[in-house]
Chains A and B, each alone.
Chain A
Amino acid sequence: MTTAARSTVRVAAKERVADGVVALTLVDPDGARLPDWTPGSHVDLVLPTGDTRQYSLCGDRWDAFAYRVAVLREPAGRGGSAWVHDELAVGDLVGLGGPRNQFRLVPAPRYLFLAGGIGITPLLPMVDAARRLGADWRLVHGGRSRASMAFLDELDDPRVTVWPQDELGLLPLGDLLTGLDDGTRVYCCGPAPLLDAVEAVCPPGLLRTERFVAREQGAPVRDEPFTVVLDRTGAEVVVTPEVSVLEAVRAAGADVLSSCRQGTCGTCETTVLAGDPDHRDSVLDEAERAAGDCLLVCVSRSRGDRLVLDL
């Protein structure tokens, strides 16, 4: 495998959950707990092809030992989803980055959840949270047809409206999004045309969206060793795929503190002086990741063959 042991998961189950949609159950290869997550989180899956794809976690966070993601076959995509559908098998190992959350559920007395197709995935854990919070909520789940819509069996609740386009037409966004009171928060996830339509109608202060657009990765995540330079001592250490940067720099004499060792607490944050980090933590947001000036060395790695750290 191409990544350090702490960020590898095993495919424990692969199940067809709708036309063109498979759900994967992912577990730690040694049966350990997986990192905690919150509704709206996604993970990066690093496929053996070298491709990285992001998927929302759509399972039950009260089960600390399994993640569930659902993958839609996208014929127009770059091949990652087809590989998951056609090649990935139960027992296979895949690299894992995150989880990270850029689509957090904020506290509110009322929620309107709008799902388009596979966009149901981040909303499932939100619905569960809204239930537990005792909030007033409603989910409208749209899709091309019932057969294409995943997890309908898990949404047997009078507060859920299933809206297949082939039976009922487009989602009645005008009706759904007018007359909302200020306490309502609208969470919408789905294809770009749906999000565009919702943004055109919904009062902006109420709306939170997540776009399911695969990000262009600047380069594939490395599966080869890379060199870390400890700038303060001048020492150089080779980081092989089997070890973390943290382990490697400690072995080279740098006294880096860490705590959670899963990229969630931020204790091991280290300044990057040169190089191109491969961020695999749950702490940094997009802007911070893009800045490239720090690294959570317990889980994050390097895209290039050389990384200079302020150690």
Chain B
Amino acid sequence: MTAVLPTLDLDPFDPEVLRDPLPAQAALRDAGPLVRLPRYDTWAIARYAEVHAALTDWQSFESSAGVGLTNFRTGTPWRPPSLLLEADPPHHDAPRAVLAKVLGPRALRKLRADWLADAEALVDEVLPGGTVELDAVPALAAAFPLRVFPDAVGLAREGREHLLPYGDHAFNAFGPTDNALVLAGNASMPEHAGWVARQCEREVLAPAGFGADIWAAADRGELTHAQAPLVVRSLLTAGVDTTVHGIGAVLHALAVTPGAWQLLRERPELVRVAFDEAVRWESPVQAFFRTTVRDVPVGDAVVPAGEKVLVVFAAANRDPRRWADPDAFDLTRDPSGHVGFGMGIHQCVGQHVARLEAESLLTALLARVTSLELAGDPVRHLNNTLRSWESLPVRLVC
């Protein structure tokens, strides 16, 4: 018996889909466990169970052919592939082990007090007196990660303005190479990429920080010295835009969900839940591709070997088969098990950094702000992989 394979004439990188991806993601989920997307000669998995299974099954779904649309077996990557995101075991093992240690919860303990103090200082700066209206994206969501993360890595002060456009382009580049967002970014990319590459060198990095820790691991032989700069590059690519958009997502969710800010004020121990629930609800990283290494069964169908499969984290994170009332941002739910950070051996190695940034900023805001609400219409920033806000006007009452 041959199951009929659902096929959707859907472009996941269409600007209208990027602006509001929820209907397309629902259509992908509803169509079946595996969907054919002829537009790019690819496939999609959007239900939670199958997304979770595909992400954990690195043996069947490889990453070294690239986690964007371009297949590195046949096409050319726009930059040397990541040693983490775009690698499989055994090549993936050593860089992952090193970075997991450098960014691990225990390594972050010594940053906790400093980051909370930094967050309090930032909040004091944006809230000089009483109630204010401001755009929360530049003033808070971008300002705080840019204040603490480059210092934690050990970057020079000069040139940090390259970080966000570099990350934005890197995440756009997982989409089609002739896509308008990619084409728009290509012109300025050599300048951004050149700056980022220079920051990865040991001489440019501060003597203490995540960057120095990575080079020290190379000195201990846990990485080669040739690998060290590329591992630092992974921090700079994946560690900035994502946290900015994650913090933007939780601020937006708290501003538009009645009672949420008051509940957090009463129960500040829920700030970690709030951030992870926002990562589930918004999925700042929407999807990555995998490539099948053999014929792989999904549901009743089979993806042939060598095919690109879009694994839609965002759709899984709102799959009603897994989550009760999935479209609700709900501080009383347990968001554990969401795939907003991915899952399996490639699960976001910086997730603890992201959580600590969000926890620090929210804690500082909760201490001063009695109410958080929208003060205007928020505006989306479009990216082929990321879901994010360009502008988020809010009123902070204190």
Contact = CB atoms under 8 A, between A and B. Distances in A.
Q: Do the two shown chains form a genuine complex with each other?
A: yes
Interface of A: 33, 36, 38-39, 61-64, 101, 104-108, 129, 132-133, 185, 205, 232, 250, 255, 257-261, 265-267, 269, 283-284, 288, 294
A61 B90 CA distance: 10
Contacts of A205: 221
Given A106-B222, A107-B223, A36 B90 contact: no
Contacts of A269: 105-106
Rank and list the top 6 A-B pairs by shortest CB-CB distance, nearest first.
A129-B90, A258-B336, A38-B93, A269-B105, A107-B224, A266-B105
Contact of A257 (B223, B335, B347): B335
B276 A107 contact: no
A39 B221 CA distance: 16
Contact of A61 (B89, B94, B276, B341): B89
Given A259-B341, A259-B347, A260-B347, A106 B336 contact: no
Contacts of A107: 94, 223-224, 227
B97 A267 contact: no
15 contacts: A36-B345, A38-B89, A39-B93, A108-B224, A129-B89, A185-B221, A205-B221, A257-B272, A257-B273, A257-B276, A259-B341, A259-B351, A261-B336, A269-B105, A269-B106
B327 interface: no
B93 A104 contact: yes
A105 B93 contact: yes
Nearest to A291: B106
Contacts of A288: 106
B225 to A, nearest CB: 10
B334 interface: yes
Given A33-B57, A265-B347, 10 more contacts: A36-B345, A39-B90, A105-B90, A107-B227, A185-B221, A255-B269, A257-B276, A257-B336, A258-B336, A259-B347
A258 B270 CA distance: 14
Given A185-B221, A255-B269, A257-B335, A106 B90 contact: no
Contacts of B344: 36
A43 B132 CA distance: 56
Interface string B94-132: 100100000011100000000000000000000000000
A294 B56 CA distance: 26
B90 A133 contact: yes
Contacts of A250: 334
Contacts of A185: 221
A261 B337 contact: yes
Interface of B: 56-59, 89-91, 93-94, 97, 104-106, 221-224, 227, 269-270, 272-273, 276, 334-337, 341, 343-345, 347, 351-352
Contacts of B352: 266-267
Contacts of B272: 255, 257
A286 to B, nearest CB: 13
Contact of A259 (B90, B97, B223, B336): B336
Contacts of A260: 343, 347
A44 to B, nearest CB: 20
Contacts of B337: 258-259, 261
Given A104-B94, A265-B347, A255 B270 contact: yes
Contacts of A261: 336-337
Nearest to B83: A107
A205 B220 CA distance: 9
Nearest to B106: A288
A264 B227 CA distance: 24
B394 to A, nearest CB: 25
Nearest to B293: A62
Contact of B351 (A36, A38, A39, A267): A267
B313 to A, nearest CB: 13
A291 B343 CA distance: 29
Nearest to B96: A38
A132 B90 CA distance: 7
B236 to A, nearest CB: 21
Contact of A129 (B93, B227, B345): B93
A106 B221 contact: yes
Contacts of A106: 94, 221-223
B93 to A, nearest CB: 5
A240 to B, nearest CB: 20
A266 B347 CA distance: 11
Nearest to A62: B59
B120 to A, nearest CB: 22
B227 A283 contact: no
Given A129-B90, A250-B334, A64 B347 contact: no
A1 B343 CA distance: 29
Contact of B104 (A64, A108, A257, A266): A266
A257 B343 CA distance: 15
Nearest to A250: B334
A250 B273 CA distance: 13
Contact of B56 (A33, A63, A258, A266): A33
Nearest to B91: A133
A123 B226 CA distance: 25
